[in-house]
A and B are shown apart, each in its own frame.
Chain A
Amino acid sequence: MVEAQYRFRDDEPVADPAVTVDSFGDQTNAAAVRIEPGDDARDLLPFLDRLRLVEVNFPSFGDGRGYSAARILREAGYVGELRAVGAVFVDQLSHLRRCGFDSFAPETPLDPIDAEAAFDRWPEVYQATVDGRQPIWSKRHG
């Protein structure tokens, strides 16, 4: 397990080590899994009831597959912890939040002042995603 620098949840963090997506189905006692960039998040959908932590690994700033993986899990009703790990930088934080991530474990710790500013950056949003924020079009037509 990777220690999260930011966590937007009140429940106890899961202490179990995360297993691979491939092996998760067979390990019926596992509650934590780690999605690597080539993995299909939909392979986890049959097991959402016992999943409590999903780590999504970002290998580089430019590899955005993890954003889709996160949204797919949230859209399917996953309510456990969703943690971004790896190449996670300040300027991605608000977008990661919008895609459903609620904890962050960057491989290089983030400057706290810059990170706070980044989390609070966008007062308005154009799209409906899985973060429950009201998009601009909805405010316009309340």
Chain B
Amino acid sequence: MYKYDQYDQAMVDTRVEEFRDQTRRRLDGTLAEENFRPLRLQNGLYLQLHAYMLRVAVPYGTLSSAQMRMLGDIADKYDRGYGHFTTRQNIQYNWIKLEDAPDILADLATVEMHAIQTSGNCIRNISSDQYAGAAADELIDPRPYAELLRQWSSFHPEFLALPRKFKIAVIASDTDRAAMKLHDIGIQMVRNDAGEIGCAFYVGGGMGRTPMIAPLIRDFVPLDQLITYSEACLRVYNRYGRRDNKYKARIKILVHELGKDEYTRQVEEEFAQLLTQNIEPPLAELERIKAYFVDPPFEAGASDDLDRSDPDFALWVANNTAQHKQAGYIIATVSLKPVEGIPGDATADQIRLMADLAKEYAFDELRVTHAQNIVFPHVKKSDLYTLWQKLDAAGLSTANLDTIGDIIACPGLDYCSLANARSIPVAQKIAERFAAQERLDTIGELKLKISGCINACGHHHAGHIGILGVDRKGVENYQLLLGGSEGADTSLGQITGPGFSEDGIVDAVEKATDVYLANKEEGERFLDTYRRIGMTPFKEAIYG
């Protein structure tokens, strides 16, 4: 994985000193909260309902063991012994004191980590495929391009006061595991007819209160123009994105209002101008970065055999692993969704244990997924049973990946100052209702996503089943959506009808799964059946 050189280290160290100075000015009263707010946000520090929340960046979701261990240590030293992995592949801590924040950033900098631009109206942490570099179906590893974009977007002087936040994802597989088309810019690495690698640009997707799927605006940007083209996309947005209404300020609204063709024309015009400015790093820089992402030293001829005689292990293998590009290896995912847990939460001890296990069994690497789970990307199949036993002993062997138990949920009204409703208790009640393993297996793949307000941090639009918490005359109320998807077949969920109480929504979800089971044809997932039979039978069962 990527390693800082003296320049990268100087940048994060400078940021720590800058933030220490800003915090000092805030605490001594020189800097008013109103002016401190955008500065602390660009360092990932939110003021939530009960305390400050710090969001730490995990660039493209990749972590080393040492970094993971530090995340556990920070949870113990500055928080209440746990952390929360997020849908942006980051981690956040919910009980932070302002005066500790500069020290936390300094601790993070010792392991090449930071909280730069994890919030605020700027370019956020770049996300990617959690299986990057390991997936059997990828064209190339997308992370070097994400790293190039990370450096470009860090402290970009022109784009630190955008109309609204800006999220970029980079993938390199046709199977989209990063919800790429639901980003402000989604980049897919592609090969053109001439055999060259380049970037397809999708611009103007997003969730929030006006969900939109990003249109393709250019099917091939050469690698030696990636930064320049990105800069053109951002400049048009910075100049013309709406600033009169924060709910219409995302780039998706600009692209929608201008029309894809007109937005593209403006980008191309800006791009032509910027090409004369020599702002593109040389390809040698990309090569330098790529050298950090070479394959780990896989053992040639490692066996593909797996002893599945332990039924619990066999179940976990069936649900929580994915095919690796290297024979004899496998990708294993730790579900952070035990039935009674909080989706995405891990204790400091669990975080440190995963760090140790990654060092021992996964070439020192871990990934955070946008579904709030942790991946061991490169596990030798002959080590998998031992790894599973150690995870099992620590309560980390929940075998529910991509099932109805693997719920994405935002922090909701239990923590978040924007939320209208709680998400966590709803997730827990649904997980309990469907706790029986047999039931999970019968229902199969079903992505259920819960947001506690229309900002959609829980990705409810993209859930096969989505739940949106709203405030209805002072009472929490939950709307049900069906048919969303974030994959290559991205679609937005449709609202079934009137909302439900906390218990009512659990019943409604159960009725929806009953309709699926009664109607499914061979090989169909919930989403496939829904697409085939449509909303009506679901509505009749739920409201009938």
Contact = CB atoms under 8 A, between A and B. Distances in A.
Are A and B co-members of a single complex?
A: yes
Interface of A: 37, 40, 61-65, 67-69, 71, 75, 89, 91-92, 94-96, 98-99, 111, 114, 117, 121-130, 135-141
23 contacts: A37-B243, A61-B161, A62-B38, A62-B161, A67-B158, A68-B158, A68-B235, A68-B238, A68-B239, A91-B18, A91-B39, A95-B160, A114-B21, A122-B14, A124-B7, A126-B154, A126-B156, A135-B281, A136-B11, A136-B151, A137-B281, A138-B281, A140-B7
A141 B282 contact: yes
Contacts of B35: 61, 89
Interface string B17-39: 01001100100001000010011
B157 A129 contact: yes
B7 A136 contact: yes
B277 interface: yes
A58 B123 CA distance: 20
Among A67, A94, A98, A121, the most chain B Cβ lie within 10 Å of the Cβ of: A67
B152 interface: yes
In order of increasing CB-CB distance, the 10 nearest A-B pairs are A64-B161, A98-B157, A95-B157, A137-B281, A136-B7, A128-B279, A67-B158, A137-B285, A126-B151, A141-B284
A128 B5 CA distance: 19
A68 B158 CA distance: 6
A71 B243 CA distance: 20
Contacts of A140: 5, 7, 285, 288
B416 to A, nearest CB: 21
Contact of B159 (A64, A94, A121, A123): A64
Among A68, A96, A121, the most chain B Cβ lie within 10 Å of the Cβ of: A68
A131 B505 CA distance: 57
Given A124-B11, A137-B285, A65 B152 contact: no
A122 B281 contact: no
Main secondary structure of the interface of B (DSSP, over half): helix
B114 to A, nearest CB: 13
A67 B160 CA distance: 9
Given A61-B38, A127-B279, A135-B281, 7 more contacts: A40-B239, A64-B121, A68-B239, A71-B158, A125-B155, A126-B154, A140-B288
Contacts of A95: 155, 157-158, 160
B278 interface: yes
Contacts, number: 103
Interface string B430-448: 0000000000000000000
A75 B161 contact: no
Contacts of B394: none
Interface string B256-300: 000000000000000001101111011011001000000000000
A62 to B, nearest CB: 5
B105 interface: no
B49 interface: no
B170 to A, nearest CB: 17
B25 A127 contact: no
A75 B273 contact: yes
Contacts of A91: 18, 22, 39
A126 B289 CA distance: 14
A13 B139 CA distance: 57
A136 B282 CA distance: 11
Contacts of A128: 277-279
A63 B161 contact: yes
Given A61-B35, A127-B156, A136-B151, A67 B238 contact: yes
B81 to A, nearest CB: 33
A127 B152 contact: yes
Contact of A114 (B30, B157, B161): B30
B30 A111 contact: yes
A64 B279 contact: no
Given A121-B14, A126-B155, A141-B285, A114 B25 contact: yes
A129 B158 contact: yes
Contacts of A137: 151, 281-282, 285
A64 B273 contact: no
A139 B6 CA distance: 11
Contacts of B541: none
Nearest to A91: B39
A74 to B, nearest CB: 10
B279 A129 contact: yes
A89 B161 CA distance: 13
A40 B238 CA distance: 12
A64 B237 CA distance: 11
A122 B285 contact: no
B162 interface: yes
Contacts of B306: none
B533 interface: no
Contacts of B302: none
Interface string B52-68: 00000000000000000
B121 to A, nearest CB: 6
A69 to B, nearest CB: 8
A98 B159 CA distance: 12
B488 interface: no
B10 interface: yes
A95 B154 CA distance: 12
Contacts of B8: 136
Contacts of B235: 68
Nearest to B17: A121
A62 B151 contact: no
A65 B239 contact: yes
A24 B121 CA distance: 32
Contacts of A63: 161, 243
Contacts of A94: 157
Contacts of B282: 137, 141
Contacts of A139: 7
Among B18, B235, B281, the most chain A Cβ lie within 10 Å of the Cβ of: B281
Nearest to B283: A141
B273 to A, nearest CB: 7
Nearest to B237: A68
Among B21, B161, B279, the most chain A Cβ lie within 10 Å of the Cβ of: B161
